[in-house]
A and B are shown apart, each in its own frame.
Chain A
Amino acid sequence: MEFISQPWAWYVAGPVIAFVMFLLFYFGERFGVSSNLETFCSIGGAGKFVDYFKIDWKENAWNLIFVLGAIAGGFISSYWLSPSEVVAINPQTIQDLADIGIQNAGATYLPDEIFSIDTMLSLKGFSVLIIAGIMVGFGARWAGGCTSGHAIVGLSNLEIPSLISVIGFFIGGLVMTWFILPLIF
């Protein structure tokens, strides 16, 4: 149990993620989480407005079930397998975050400055959450995949479009982290 309750090292997590991908292909499907966002749109009736969403969403039901499993896995892990909330990030990272106005970095999984209920209910906090989501959803579907579909599957399959997308992920991520985040908090 010692192994389970400790945070998992990268050399455990990477192979487990590769195994998840392997299993999904072995079961005759694929690994890509962001396509579920389109399925949500189809279920919500977006096909009435845009033909792009006129699909038989039941063909993607397996992926919705996968997501339900991911939610269950998050619950199981948080409530039974994780005695500590502390994330052992680099002390320099903690200092950098304090400098831009995010306190107690690493004491829990998420910063209160973005995710607390109080923040969520403020205009600025709500805007940050919804704008972040819109960029992720719009960007993932434009690029044709997210971290799972492009960074894991696409790079494994040596695909140029995925390499370009991952370079894009990093350009966007670096600009946000280094230049925009310091202006927000």
Chain B
Amino acid sequence: MKFIKFFLVGILFGIVMSKAEIISWYRIYEMFKFQSFHMFGIIGSAVLLGMLSMFLFRKKMVKTFEGNEIHVSPKKVGLYRNLLGGILFGLGWALAGACPGPMFVLVGKGVVSILIVIFGATLGAFFYGLLKDKLPH
């Protein structure tokens, strides 16, 4: 039963990704062509409100539902990791027109071919694990 809340939050996430057309390949293409404010407005407003959340967490004004303090674990630091990994991700994002979240939402939409992209992404994560020690970080 403790999982049902994550299922419900996931449903909200799936609905917003779909209703705001974030799962549309065209919206991603349009964003990278700078021909619409839509995606920039979404990410920008989410980040602004996200900053407010982080402030409330840091000041301990909001705790978890169980009363624990909320710590946002920092991301791993490393110029090569972030820049090279980021560039590779960006190439895939613009080709598939979907990042990992929308990929799953598209499964719910009934897009069969996205399963190949998800399989590829899982394979990609596996290759990363395989080659991790040989890559610059």
Contacts and interface: CB of A to CB of B under 8 A. Distances in A.
Contacts of A67: 10, 104
Given A69-B9, A116-B113, A147-B101, A176 B94 contact: yes
Interface string B14-53: 1111111111111111111101111111111111111111
Range for the number of chain B residues in contact with chain A: 35 or more
Contacts of A74: 14-15, 17-18, 23, 104-109
A136 B99 CA distance: 7
The prevalent SS among residues of A at the interface is helix
B98 to A, nearest CB: 8
A148 B94 CA distance: 16
Given A21-B50, A109-B23, A30 B72 contact: yes
A78 B108 contact: yes
Contacts of B22: 13
A65 B93 contact: no
B61 interface: no
A143 B100 CA distance: 14
A177 B28 CA distance: 9
A172 B21 contact: no
Given A26-B64, A117-B112, A109 B25 contact: yes
25 contacts: A10-B38, A26-B62, A33-B100, A41-B129, A69-B6, A70-B10, A70-B104, A73-B10, A73-B18, A77-B18, A90-B30, A92-B33, A96-B33, A111-B25, A115-B114, A120-B112, A126-B116, A132-B92, A133-B119, A134-B120, A137-B92, A137-B126, A147-B93, A157-B72, A168-B83
